[in-house]
Amino acid sequence: MNSNLKPDQSALTLLREPGFLTRILGVILSKAASLAILASLVLTAWVVFSFVRISLAGNVGEVSAEVTAASAPARHPDIPAAAVNLAKREPLVYITDGDAKHFHLCGHNPTGAKRQAIPAGLARTRGFVACPACFRQ
């Protein structure tokens, strides 16, 4: 039961009381104003962070060009340009320490030695031939 009601009053008489609706509207408007202020602060923070992120992202192209130039590996004289170009990917084959003549597929390591993955074209330019067990014709 509402504490503003007297025992002989109904809820409708309370609504007719002068100033009651004004107090309720004042509370509702103050809550709405607080919510609007909070929403505007969140929106402002989001816009500021977006601009900061975009301004930092604008410099990434310049930085990445410098990093790419600095981290690009020096081209070895016996590596052809096609092996360095990653736009055309060649299949990877494996050369092992124990086999100086053949290159192998990933599942075949006849000597159990340490293996190194290289492009197939590079293996051919280094004088390796396809393993007859891996590449049956």
Q: Which domain holds residue 36?
A: 1-72
Residue 33 in any domain: the answer is: yes
| Pair 26, 92 in one domain | no
67 and 98, same domain (yes or no): no
Considering the entire predicted model, what is its pTM? Answer: 0.36
> In this predicted structure, what is the pLDDT of residue 62?
53
Say if residue 23 is in the same domain as residue 46. yes
Confidence (pLDDT) at 133: 83
The pLDDT score that the predictor gives to residue 38 is 96
- Per-residue pLDDT 10s for the chain (137 aa) are 455 656 666 666 666 677 777 888 888 999 999 999 999 999 999 999 988 887 776 555 554 555 454 444 555 555 555 555 555 677 888 888 878 888 888 777 777 778 888 888 888 898 998 888 887 75
DSSP per position, the chain: --TT--TT--HHHHHHSTTHHHHHHHHHHHHHHHHHHHHHHHHHHHHHHHHHHHHHHHTHHHHHHHHHHHHSPPPPTTS-HHHH-SSSPPPEEEEETTEEEEEE-TT--TT---EEEEEHHHHHHTT-EE-TTTS--
Q: Is residue 137 domain-resident?
A: no
Q: Check whether residue 61 and residue 86 sit in a common domain.
A: no
Q: How many domains does the chain have?
A: 2
Residues 36 and 92 grouped into a single domain: no
- What is the pLDDT, as a whole number, of residue 78? 58
Both 64 and 88 in one domain: the answer is no
